[in-house]
Amino acid sequence: MLLNVGQKAPDFSLQDQTGKEISLSHFLGKKVVLYFYPKDNTPGCTRQACGFAAAYDAFREQDIAVIGISKDSVSSHVKFAEKYNLPFILLSDPERKAIEPFGVWQEKKMCGKTAMGVVRTTYIIDENGVISHVMPKVKPDTNAQDVLEALGR
């Protein structure tokens, strides 16, 4: 089950695409856009990431961190970030240390089969580490702009 607006965002520590350990608590004092996506280099996830890359200056101007999380490995994130020139943090969560606490590991139906997987979800976390927006079932093509609109930008 997804978390709700007003809840404290669970802290976690995961490796980014450079192998550096990143904790959510490092971002206290600034807003964070935390988006969970299923898999690097798939059509929807690529469009979503490129949308955030295209809008990155608007986030940076407002001192808002953008973080993408999937189950992919650090090496997969390196290739994904390099291939599409992604300027933001990608975190590797193969053990689902953030994916499960944020409630995005859910049953999914694809091609008539049911399996567990990451449901595309975006959270906006305020300067105090509290969830201010929950955006379930986001559309890859408009996610970044929808986030900017939600933030009043």
Domain CATH number, residue 111: 3.40.30.10
- Tell me the percentage of the chain whose pLDDT exceeds 90: 93
Annotated catalytic, 50?
Answer: no
- Averaged pLDDT, 91-117: 93
pLDDT at residue number 152: 86
Lookup: tokens for 131: 């969830």
Of residues 45, 81, 119, 125, which has the active-site annotation? Answer: 45
Sign of the CA dihedral running 143, 18, 131, 63: negative
Distance CA 53, CA 51 (A): 5
* Distance (Å) of CA 62 to CA 33, 71, 117, 143, 149: 12, 28, 32, 17, 13
Structural domain that includes position 93:
13-150
Q: Is residue 6 part of a domain?
A: no
Count the domains in the chain: 1
- Averaged pLDDT, 119-143: 96
pLDDT at residue number 134: 97
pLDDT class for 111, splitting at 50, 70, 90?
A: confident
Look at residue 73 and tell me whether its pLDDT is greater than 90. Answer: yes
Distance CA 91, CA 15 (A): 6
Distance CA 94, CA 104 (A): 13
pLDDT class for 108, splitting at 50, 70, 90?
A: confident
